[in-house]
Amino acid sequence: MDDEKRRDEVKRLGRAVVFVHQHDHKITDPLVRAEVEILLLTGKAMDLAARLKGHQSLVVLTHELVVGYAKHAGLGGLELINTVLPALKAAGLIDYRIDQAGRISHLEEYIGVSATVTEQTVALLDSLGPQRSDLAFLHSVEIGAIAPLAASQHLQEITKRGFTEPEALEALRLARAVGLNLDAPSDELNELVVFSPYVWGTKQLSLATFLGGLPPNEREALLGMSEQVLSTPGLHLSKLNANPAIIRSATNVGLIQAATVRSATGASSTYVFSPLLEVEDNACTTTEAFHLRKLFVAHILFGRDSAALGGGRVQDPAVLVNALLRRGTVGPATNIGTDYHLLEAAGVVAVEPNEGGRAFLRLVKPEIAESALTWIRRITDTSGTADLTRGQRPATFITPEDGRTKESLGASHEIMVASIHELRKEMQRAARRDDPWA
C-alpha cells in the first residue's frame, strides 16, 4: 500500500472510530458493548481530547478542568487516570504528570500538532490494543460509508482486507446492530443492500449530479431539498421545500443531517445541514465528526431566534461571530451566562462571569467559529416557524445520529430505498471507470 492510500485508509478508520462514538449511548445491549469496548473507549478519549484542544493557550489545564471535561465525555476519574491519560500520552496527544495525591499537576495537549487528528485517533486506538474483531468492525463501517453494496459484496470487501469469513460476518452483524450500517431490500439482487448513513458525505461522486440523474419521482423529491440544505447550512427545518415524510426518510438514511437544540421545557428548534459539508472539512476533521461546528451554529442561531429580550439577544449572528474571532471575547451580557452551557461543556467557548449576573463569552476554538462563520453568512432569511418562544434556554443538543429512527414511512421510504439502489449502481459504474457523468 502506497503512502497516499495508507493516509486515506487511516483517515477513514479514524472517522469510523468517531462514528462509533456518536452511537455509544444507543448501544444498550451489554454484550455488544463488551464486544466493542476498545472502540467505545477510544471514542470517549478522543471526545475528551477534542474538548481539551485549544485551552492551554488561554488557561492552565488544571486537574478540576480536565476531570470536568472527562465527565462530559463519559469518563469517570478512575478510567481517566488509569487508562485514558496513559493511552493519550502513548499516542502523542498529551503529556502530563500526576502528583503524589493522584491529581493531575500538569497537562499539555498536542491535538492535531504532531499528526492529523484522524492519524492520532488511529494511533490512540493502537495504543489501547484493539482485537482483530475491532478492526474488522471498523472496516465494515468504513466500507459502508464508501458505497452501498450487496451484503455478499460487502462481506467480500472485508475479507479482501485480511479478515476471515466468520470475522467478516460478525463485523457486519455488529455494525448493523449498532445502527452504523443500514440495509435496504433489493428485488433485483434478491438480497439486502448494505450502506451507511455517512455514504452521502464521501468523495466517491457528486451528490448533486447523482440526484439529478435519478428517475423523475425521486429526483423531484430529493434534489431541491438537497441543494437547499447544501446552499444554506443551518437552515431552519420549517424552511425545507419538501413534505415531512420525505424529510424524515432523508434524515434516517443520512441524506440530510438535522441538529436540534432543545430547551429545558422540551420545546426545540431544528437546523439542517448537508453531509457534503463534512467532505469540505479540513482542520476540523474530528471536531466536525463530533458536530462541534453544527453545535456552534445551532446555538448562535438559537440566540438570535429564542434568547430572552433585554439580556443581550443576538441581533446579527455574523457580526457576533466576527467580533469573537477578532477580539477573542464578547460581552458582557446576561444571556451569555445562561445560554451557552453546551458549547462550554464541549470546550468551544469559556463563559467568564462578570458583575450584575452578566458574563463574557471567550472563544477557545477559533477554527470552529471561523468555519461556522461561512455557514452563518449564507443564512439570509429568518428561522421560520421555530417552536421555541423567546426566553427559553438551551438544555440539550440532539445530534444527527440521535435524530434518526428506523421507522418506515411508506412511499417516502420507497423513494429513499430506490435512491440507495441507484447510488449503488452508479458507484459500481464509476469503479469500472464507466462514469456516466464523465
Q: Which of 278, 297, 257, 267 is nearest to 401 (CA)?
A: 257
**What's the pLDDT score for residue 336?**
79
Write the pLDDT tens digit of every residue in 97-109: 999 999 999 999 8
- Rounded mean pLDDT of the chain? 76
**What's the pLDDT score for residue 379?**
67
Q: Are residues 230 and 198 in the same domain?
A: no
Q: Are residues 393 and 279 in the same domain?
A: yes
Lowest mean pLDDT among 151-155, 318-322, 336-340, 389-393: 389-393
Does 209 fall in a domain? Answer: no
Write the pLDDT tens digit of every residue in 367-386: 888 888 877 887 644 443 34
The residue whose grid cell reads 492529523 is 116
> Taking the CB of residue 28, how many other CB atoms lie within 10 A of it?
8
Does 211 fall in a domain? Answer: no
The answer to whether the beta carbons of residues 291 and 400 sit under 8 Å apart is: yes
- 151-160 and 132-146 helices cross at what angle (nearest 10)? 130
* Amino acid sitting at position 193: V
- Percentage of residues in the chain having pLDDT higher than 90: 21
What confidence category does residue 389 fall into, taking pLDDT thresholds of 50, 70 and 90? Answer: very low
**What's the pLDDT score for residue 13?**
84
CATH classification at residue 16: 1.10.10
Does 143 fall in a domain? Answer: no
**What's the pLDDT score for residue 311?**
61
Structurally, the chain folds into a number of domains equal to 3
Highest mean pLDDT among 157-171, 214-228, 327-341, 398-412: 157-171
d(CA 155, CA 169): 7
Does 217 fall in a domain? Answer: no
Write the pLDDT tens digit of every residue in 161-198: 899 999 999 999 999 988 888 887 877 778 888 877 77
d(CA 324, CA 340): 14
Does 418 fall in a domain? Answer: yes
Read off the pLDDT of each residue in 360-366 and give the average, rounded to a whole number: 87
What confidence category does residue 87 fall into, taking pLDDT thresholds of 50, 70 and 90? Answer: very high
**What's the pLDDT score for residue 306?**
63
Q: Are residues 157 and 104 in the same domain?
A: no
pLDDT at 273 over 50: yes
At residue 341's C-alpha, the angle toward residues 338 and 347, to 5°, is 145
Read off the pLDDT of each residue in 136-150 and give the average, rounded to a whole number: 85
**What's the pLDDT score for residue 401?**
59
Q: Are residues 274 and 319 in the same domain?
A: yes
Q: Are residues 74 and 35 in the same domain?
A: yes
Higher pLDDT, 418 or 62: 62
Q: Are residues 13 and 45 in the same domain?
A: yes
Q: Provide the residue range defining the domain that includes 199.
A: 149-204+407-431
* Amino acid sitting at position 377: R
> Taking the CB of residue 308, how many other CB atoms lie within 10 A of it?
16
What's the pTM?
0.72
Does 218 fall in a domain? Answer: no
Cell of 86: 496513559
Write the pLDDT tens digit of every residue in 213-235: 666 666 666 666 776 776 777 78
Q: Are residues 264 and 200 in the same domain?
A: no
Q: Are residues 290 and 356 in the same domain?
A: yes
Q: Are residues 272 and 321 in the same domain?
A: yes
